[in-house]
Amino acid sequence: MNNPTTIRIAQAQLNPTVGDLSGNLGLITEAMDQAARAGAHLVTFPELVISGYPPEDLLLKPRFLTDCARTLERAAAAAREITAVVGYPEVQGGRVYNAAALLHQGRVLASYRKRELPNYSVFDELRYFTSGPHNLLLEVQGVRLALTICEDLWELDNGVAPAVRALGAQVTLNISASPFYAGKLAVRRQTLAAYAARAGTYVFYTNMVGGQDELVFDGGSMVIAPDGAVLASARRFQPDLLVTDLEIADHGEGPKVRPPDQLIALPRQTTTGPAAPMVLAPEMERLDEIHQALVLGTRDYLRKCGFSTAVLGISGGIDSALTAALAVQALGADNVIGVTMPSQYTSGDTLSDAEKQAANLGIRLITVPVKEVYDSFLDQMAHAMGPGPAGVAGENLQARIRGTILMTLSNRFGWLVLTTGNKSETAVGYCTLYGDMAGGFAVIKDVPKTLVYELSQHINHRAGREIILPSIIERPPTAELRPDQKDSDSLPPYEVLDPILQAYVEQDKGLDELQAMGFDPAMVQEVIQMVDRNEYKRRQAPPGVKITPKAFGRDRRLPISNRYRPGEKPL
């Protein structure tokens, strides 16, 4: 048996910003310095960390690609004291590759090009990238490491794992930008463990962290043993540098690398400093991870878009209370403004709770009554609207007046408007275009109503006090746009509606399958019809944090002009 050797690998879990090449470079060079001081032989960075992920149609701009290449050269120049693996968009022969550059002693030694390009869910990589056909192996401290990028490890039948085993690799380095949804970490661990077993290697998986538009990257970088055990893991929802010592047998001669595969052998270094311990980050429960994703996604959306302050309507209902609480945790109370906009239908209890909730969060509250504005609208439009009660048009007019007030304050002071609608309402169209849908960011857009209640109670439990008022949690949900209105007047109870929506929207189950699950056929048909006919509303909704496996927006994309109706009788 060959003598064991120790290799020290650092995994830099960073929060880059798409297009901020100089800012991303600063994060990379700082992490290189930290890894070098920790005595690491090698440091890995997330997928496309130079450009940020996903850069989308920036990749169609030649100048952007040129600037990314120049930024990579500057990163290489900074890699004097440590070897680094850095993700970037590479241009060769008129084609663009999702690549990982090997930086060593001030220059780019080689690049690995991602083989598997995901083109499902939120991913559109076939629109931009060409698949790379070759493997790249590094020899560091006598240990043979295979370089891979994200999706390369997710498809076990793609030939990557058998090829890595055949090439005699002992470690697989995987740089990734894997977005979050609740429960995704367990899926990653299972996937990485299956790959490790098939390839016969350790896996050093380095993930991105941070919010980017609708997506949140939760970090959770890890080291997996060939038997699937998690040896070390980084924190989630925050930047981290995970440094791990791995004692492993020298590969000896090993299988020969076949052309056109490439092997880069680096000179051995002396390991300095104390041994790096195996670090395991604390586990997070489901509500904890959803909570942190919403806070991080909100904070990064405002920060990366250049906003410092958010404004939202405080109605006295649970959706606005939860949104306000999350905004305060993301931005600080001084950077959140609440606006209460009572009408003739606003109850005294609701108005009182809005005021108490704002005080409880420590945020400034502005009061702008809407009754006189509403009456003036109706008076001016009386001739155009004709005889009879205002009906639903009058209800929606109130919501649109409130949306106009919030957007006017946004224009006046440069505040970003946060909308407060949840996934259940968005799914069935129980929301008003240019009214409660008006705004710049929808914090709980992907949070079903039943989960809104769970999160509110969770926040109170974690804080050890009533961040969200119990009276708000306990009050039956209502839009208060007409006398004695309740959500249940127009919708099934949320505890019934949400499972139907999950099955239809997220799992693509049809009418017959939903009926087989025990749901009332008439109710199922009604819900499906509401979902289908409100695609035009969802297309105009602001972006919001993705926390479920299939979110509206980047994830679920259906045509607006569409006559296919699965809620009707089957053919």
Confidence at residue 547, expressed as pLDDT on a 0 to 100 scale: 96
Confidence of residue 130 (pLDDT cuts 50, 70, 90): very high
The whole-number pLDDT of residue 5 equals: 86
Number of Cβ within a 10 Å radius of residue 516: 10
Tokens found for residue 428: 């069935």
Token output for 260: 């056109």
| Region 318-338 average pLDDT | 96
Using a pLDDT cut of 90, give the percent of the chain over it. 68
47 an active-site residue? yes
Instruction: Output the pLDDT for position 512.
Output: 86
Catalytic residue among 68, 116, 125, 150: 150
CA distances (Å), origin 187, targets 171, 179, 183, 231, 357: 21, 12, 7, 17, 38
pLDDT of residue 255: 65
Phi and psi at residue 554, in whole multiples of 5°? Answer: -65, -30
What does the mean pLDDT of the chain come to?
91
Q: Exactly one of 47, 139, 425, 480 is catalytic; which is it?
A: 47
Establish whether 68 is a catalytic residue.
Answer: no
| R_g of the chain computed on alpha carbons | 27
User: In the prediction, which pLDDT does 209 show?
Assistant: 98
Average pLDDT over residues 314-329: 94
Which of 4-13, 152-161, 334-343, 360-369 bottoms out in mean pLDDT, i.e. has the lowest?
152-161
Dihedral over alpha carbons 435, 436, 440, 442 (to 10 degrees):
-160
pLDDT higher than threshold 50 for residue 123: yes
Is residue 505 within 8 Å of residue 556, measured between CB atoms? yes
Annotated catalytic residue within 68, 90, 114, 480 = 114
CA-wise closest residue to 182 among 405, 502, 523: 502
pLDDT digits (tens, 9 = 90+) for 451-494: 999 999 999 999 999 999 999 898 887 666 667 667 777 788 99
CB 134 within 8 A of CB 128: no
pLDDT band at 1 (very low <50, low <70, confident <90, very high): very low
For residue 350, what pLDDT is reported? 72
pLDDT above 50: residue 55? yes
If you average pLDDT over residues 168-180, what whole number do you get?
A: 95
The residues spanned by each domain of the chain are 7-273, 287-487
305 is catalytic: no
Residue-wise pLDDT for 495-520, tens only, equals: 999 999 999 999 999 888 888 999 98
Query: How large is the average pLDDT for residues 122-138?
Result: 91
Fold of 7-273: Nitrilase/N-carbamoyl-D-aminoacid amidohydrolase (3.60.110)
* pLDDT, position 410: 97
pLDDT, position 486: 74
Report how far apart, in Å, the C-alpha atoms of 439 and of each of 243, 406, 407, 419, 542 are: 42, 8, 7, 6, 6
* Residue 345 pLDDT greater than 80, yes or no: no
Distance CA 242, CA 233 (A): 7
287-487, CATH topology level: Rossmann fold (3.40.50)
How does pLDDT run across 389-433, given as a tens digit for each residue? Answer: 888 888 889 899 999 999 999 999 999 999 999 999 999 999 999
pLDDT one-digit tens code per residue, 241-274: 999 999 887 766 666 666 667 888 888 887 767 7
pLDDT at 337: 97
For the cut 70, the answer to whether the pLDDT of residue 553 exceeds it is yes
Residue 96, pLDDT > 90, answer yes
For residues 547 and 446, the answer to whether their CB atoms sit within 8 Å is yes
Q: Which of 205-219, 338-352, 526-540 has the highest mean pLDDT?
A: 205-219
pLDDT tens for each residue of 20-44: 999 999 999 999 999 999 999 999 9
